[in-house]
């Protein structure tokens, strides 16, 4: 660092090692200049230059009256904002070097600031938080952000940033939260992301990222990963950190089977892989997982469910959505035995056979230490036979139940769960399975 703020500590150390009599006049003048500079401007001049560049790089029309940046008046020191209308918000300075203050936080208000991040040097070595989310910045994410070596939180969410991410972002080793969601970023995630060893939260949803997902197993503190609404087209990544609590890769183009080691993510509570092209079996380990509570695999091409050895009695699942797949055969009875499951959607598959009694009892008959079905959606299959008698006593509003678009012999509109769609015709039902009566 070459600013006066960084030079002053060195000068002070030198003055302690030498008596005043031994100091040269040029040295004394330099010392006084630095000292007076700190008195005149308590915020480091180098930091102020970056703040000026940041404001000057904005489209002036986007700096609305009353916004944070409209109060940035550089004829005043950013520290002199108390009891004034200058620098009312948008940044924070802290005393981190003897006699001076450094910018430690920049947080913009979401008012539509527009401009480029590349016009700023980003020489802010003490910055810990940079949040410009919910604005209209455009252009690329600059390499110079790597200068923010103490950064812990970086939020560029919901702007109009584009292009590929710089590899240098992986050098931000103190980073704990990274939000890039809601932009137009593209290309693969840099493999250097595996160096973000302190990262706890990574949100990159709603972009155009593609290619192979990097190996993130070294991120042992990462607990939330959201890569939804992108263009990833490989298989579900298997090289993920064991610390994950939430994993969402909804609405990509993922293909192939679920990785066998998904059960090794022992802390996982939420898994959403809906709206992809996944196929094969839904693994039994997901139904007796030690912590999984919400599983969403809808809108894929799965063909069957593996039955867990525990028959669902130890499952922690609360909500399960397997709708809009190619699941076939009888409805899995073990799903009605899961003690905490309260929301089950199996709509729009190819299930046939009768509705299991376990489902009807779980929806209609409260039991101790067991959650009832608050949502049971079975429409759009090929279920046949009579409606189980426990369901007949359900009153509207007691639970969200739907049996429409099946092959049930009688499902009149007098039952709320038969409203909203007819049963399939006998011709359609017979064409699907001759055994349907």
pLDDT digits (tens, 9 = 90+) for 298-310: 999 999 999 999 9
pLDDT > 90? residue 84: no
- What are the residues facing 344 on neighbouring strands? 320, 376
pLDDT at 62: 96
Dist. CA 115–CA 137, nearest whole Å: 5
Mean pLDDT of 213-228: 96
Q: Which tokens is 351 given?
A: 């299930």
Residue entry with tokens 């006593």: 393
Given a contact cutoff of 8 angstroms between Cβ atoms, the answer to whether 327 and 303 are in contact is yes
* Digit-coded pLDDT (tens) for 44-66: 999 999 999 999 999 999 999 99
Q: Which tokens is 239 given?
A: 């090289």
Q: Which tokens is 399 given?
A: 């639970």
**Sheet containing 184-187, strands listed edge to edge, beginning at the edge strand earlier in sequence:** 114-116, 136-139, 160-163, 184-187, 208-209
Alpha carbons within 13 angstroms on the beta-carbon side of residue 208 total 10
Given a contact cutoff of 8 angstroms between Cβ atoms, the answer to whether 114 and 58 are in contact is yes
pLDDT at 16: 45
The overall average pLDDT reported for the chain is 90
* Digit-coded pLDDT (tens) for 362-396: 999 888 889 999 999 999 999 999 999 999 989 99
Given a contact cutoff of 8 angstroms between Cβ atoms, the answer to whether 173 and 196 are in contact is yes
Domain at 102-110+126-404, CATH class: alpha beta
pLDDT at 22: 57
Reported as type and span, the H/E element at residue 357 is helix 357-364
The CA–CA distances, whole Å, from 188 to 146, 185, 203, 330 equal 19, 10, 15, 41
pLDDT at 5: 54
Residue 11 phi, psi (nearest 5): -65, -40
Residue 29 phi, psi (nearest 5): -60, -40
Mean pLDDT of 185-201: 97
pLDDT > 80? residue 23: no
The CA–CA distances, whole Å, from 96 to 9, 30, 77, 88, 103 equal 11, 22, 16, 21, 9
Burial annotation 246-284 (CB, 10 A radius, 16+ → b, else e)? bbbbbbbebbeebbeebbebeebbbbbbbbbebeeebbb
pLDDT > 70? residue 14: no
């Amino acid at each position: 660092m070459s600013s006066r703020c960084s030079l002053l500590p060195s000068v002070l150390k030198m003055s302690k090692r030498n008596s005043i009599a031994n100091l040269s006049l040029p040295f004394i003048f330099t010392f006084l200049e630095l000292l007076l500079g700190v008195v005149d401007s308590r915020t480091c001049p180098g930091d102020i230059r970056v703040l000026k560049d940041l404001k000057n790089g904005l489209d002036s029309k986007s700096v609305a009256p009353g916004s944070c940046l409209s109060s940035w008046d550089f004829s005043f020191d950013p520290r002199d904002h108390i009891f004034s209308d200058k620098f009312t918000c948008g940044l924070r300075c802290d005393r981190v070097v003897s006699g001076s203050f450094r910018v430690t936080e920049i947080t913009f208000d979401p008012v539509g600031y527009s401009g480029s991040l590349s016009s700023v040097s980003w020489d802010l070595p003490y910055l810990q938080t940079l949040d410009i989310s919910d604005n209209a910045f455009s252009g690329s994410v600059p390499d110079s952000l790597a200068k923010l070596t103490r950064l812990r939180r970086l939020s560029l969410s919901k702007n109009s940033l584009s292009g590929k991410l710089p590899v240098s972002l992986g050098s931000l080793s103190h980073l704990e939260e990274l939000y890039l969601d809601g932009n137009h970023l593209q290309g693969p995630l840099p493999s250097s992301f595996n160096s973000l060893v302190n990262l706890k939260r990574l949100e990159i949803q709603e972009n155009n990222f593609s290619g192979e997902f990097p190996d993130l197993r070294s991120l042992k503190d990462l607990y939330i990963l959201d890569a939804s609404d992108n263009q990833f087209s490989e298989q579900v990544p298997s090289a993920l950190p064991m610390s994950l609590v939430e994993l969402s890769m909804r609405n990509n183009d993922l293909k192939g089977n679920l990785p066998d080691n998904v059960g090794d993510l022992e802390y996982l509570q939420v898994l959403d892989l809906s709206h992809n092209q996944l196929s094969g079996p839904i693994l039994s380990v997901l139904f007796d997982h030690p912590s999984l509570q919400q599983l969403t695999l809808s809108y894929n091409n799965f063909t069957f469910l593996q039955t867990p050895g525990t028959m669902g009695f130890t499952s922690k699942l609360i909500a399960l959505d397997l709708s809009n797949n190619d699941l076939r055969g009888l409805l899995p009875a073990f799903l009605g035995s899961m003690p905490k499951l309260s929301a089950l959607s199996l709509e729009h598959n190819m299930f046939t056979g009768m509705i299991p009694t376990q489902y009807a009892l779980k929806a209609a008959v409260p039991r101790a230490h067991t959650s009832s079905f608050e949502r049971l959606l079975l429409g759009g299959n090929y279920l046949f036979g009579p409606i189980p008698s426990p369901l007949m006593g359900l009153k509207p509003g007691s639970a969200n139940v739907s049996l429409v678009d099946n092959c049930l012999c009688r499902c009149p509109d007098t039952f709320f769960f038969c409203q909203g769609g007819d049963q399939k015709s006998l011709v359609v039902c017979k064409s699907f399975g001759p055994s349907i009566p």
